[in-house]
Structure 1
């Protein structure tokens, strides 16, 4: 049965996601896969498409993992190949098929979703799931075709690539170049900015779908170079002379440490290397979907710690 709707492309993508995410069995059951699953009918066409996958696409500098141009694969449901194009149903996209309605409905049809004929297209969307075949009508700015459908997760990666996510802008007390003393507090903090702490926001759009990504630092793990570390969920506070030679209770948790127990002369180069690992929590939303990503960035600084000199 054909159900007329006023779905825009974003809603169409949402429907696709709900079918795929809500029915894991549908992905694995060939009996409910689209017809002509062998991709051999003369009226069906299969071709290789780029799937960014877990390691695909361009990554921002500093991101963990490997780079790559994407994994080549055929259109599949589960591990079963399906036609990327069907004469009857149109172009395959994330578990459903999209086809320009022919003929296009009259201007009074609610499927136009407020648009007029000539402004985009009314599209037939056919989905195959555990409940059988469903078909809806919705509006799209562009006619379906190879690569016409939009994957919000891919747009999220594109938006993320537009961001500048930097490691901590490290500040240390005692300052690099000065000497600290064994047993005295050591303070570490970062400049708080859009690129070193967040929030940092960027968007990417395609095919009428816009995905917005927001990133902010969840925490910074400060590895002090002597085997100890402190994890802070704040940028930290700059050292004040009023703090003196101890970390006041009200300042604990702000990345002040009780200092070193051994001089840095025991280390190569005579310095402790402090490593700040920023964990960026990245949230994205758009096209009826949302998700989370994680990015890490690292920066280092060195500090000299000397023995306390006792005068007789």
Structure 2
């Protein structure tokens, strides 16, 4: 049996959708539902459930739709003039306003909030949300971010294994261009589309001998025309041979830091960083010199 609140939500949904003469995006058939009198209860029987459903789910540009339930009764996720249903049971619609945010210059917007109350009453207010926390928008942003899959770096070295590095001779370090490119992923739902982008910015090298090296950019690849003792964008000089290390080699690792941003539906923002790492074994040899000079 529907409560007074649920009846008010359904009646409001029907009236608004009919008066608008529009099909509500990301909506479902009003009044369809599931049985909440079974054990265990279906997840749709939570008081308010907003679900973003992927399209094919097999690529980084798939769209999706939204489905919303109010205590087991499927209701429109979006109502013209009232906005998107949120988990608190209220509806939110983004507003264009030059009023400053209450908490500082964090990217976001003012929203009109419409809530229905027990007995069928309805109230409206205005609230500020940062974009990452905004009703409906936040989950789509998070979905786009979760789709990002930056690759592990393909590491270049000179000398290149299995050729051994030499004590006292600089080893050139770089990341191949195939893995040094921005990567993007898109999520869509309810007419919203957000694209998240990861851009590589620096590499942290752990050569395996206890040292640490941070290089901005991918480094410079060595070519046959280069001088091994030259000055590449990123290099490391080993001071000891690896003969006494486990397995006779040192674990060299390269960790790429990616700056993450997102944009779409008239919004944009930053989302911190991601890292990817590759580790490989490097053998380091020491070449002994022998003075064979003769007496004058």
Which of 87, 91, 105 aligns to 1:98? It is: 91
Residues 170 and 228 in structure 2, CA contact (< 8 A), matched pair in contact too: yes
By how many angstroms is 1:99 displaced? Answer: 8.8
- 1: distance between equivalents of 2:262 and 2:144? 9
- 2: distance between equivalents of 1:99 and 1:282? 27
Cα deviation digits, residues 16-51 of structure 1 (max 9, x gap): xxxxxxxxxxxxxxxxxxxxxxxxxxxxx9726479
- Pairing 1:308–2:295 present: no
Structure 1 residues 92 and 269: alpha-carbon distance in aligned structure 2, compared to 1, 3 A threshold: same
Cα deviation digits, residues 231-284 of structure 1 (max 9, x gap): 122111111345434242xx3xx2122x10000113111111111111111101
- 2: distance between equivalents of 1:287 and 1:94? 21
Unaligned runs of 5+ in 1: 1-8, 10-44, 53-57, 59-88, 101-123, 136-148
Which of 211, 216, 229 aligns to 2:199? It is: 216
Residues 275 and 299 in structure 1, CA contact (< 8 A), matched pair in contact too: yes
By how many angstroms is 1:220 displaced? Answer: 1.2
Residues 143 and 187 in structure 2, CA contact (< 8 A), matched pair in contact too: yes
Query: Structure 1 length as normaliser, TM-score?
Result: 0.52
Which of 222, 225, 228 aligns to 1:239? It is: 222
Cα deviation digits, residues 85-131 of structure 1 (max 9, x gap): xxxx897527783399xxxxxxxxxxxxxxxxxxxxxxx95358xxx
Query: What residue is the counterpart of 2:138 in the other structure?
Result: 153
Q: Specify the structure having the higher radius of gyration (Cα).
A: 2
- Pairing 1:263–2:234 present: no
Cα deviation digits, residues 148-184 of structure 1 (max 9, x gap): x963332233233444311110111111111121000
- Pairing 1:134–2:117 present: no
- 2: distance between equivalents of 1:51 and 1:296? 29
Q: Tell me the matched-pair count.
A: 191
Query: What residue is the counterpart of 1:183 in the other structure?
Result: 168
- 2: distance between equivalents of 1:247 and 1:290? 43
**Whose RCO is larger (CA < 8 A, sep 6+)?**
1
Query: Structure 2 length as normaliser, TM-score?
Result: 0.54
Structure 1 residues 260 and 98: alpha-carbon distance in aligned structure 2, compared to 1, 3 A threshold: same
- 2: distance between equivalents of 1:187 and 1:212? 35
| 1:58-73 pair list within 5 angstroms | none
Query: What residue is the counterpart of 2:182 in the other structure?
Result: 199
- 2: distance between equivalents of 1:90 and 1:197? 41
Residues 155 and 175 in structure 2, CA contact (< 8 A), matched pair in contact too: yes
Unaligned runs of 5+ in 2: 1-23, 25-44, 58-81, 94-110, 116-122, 127-133, 292-296
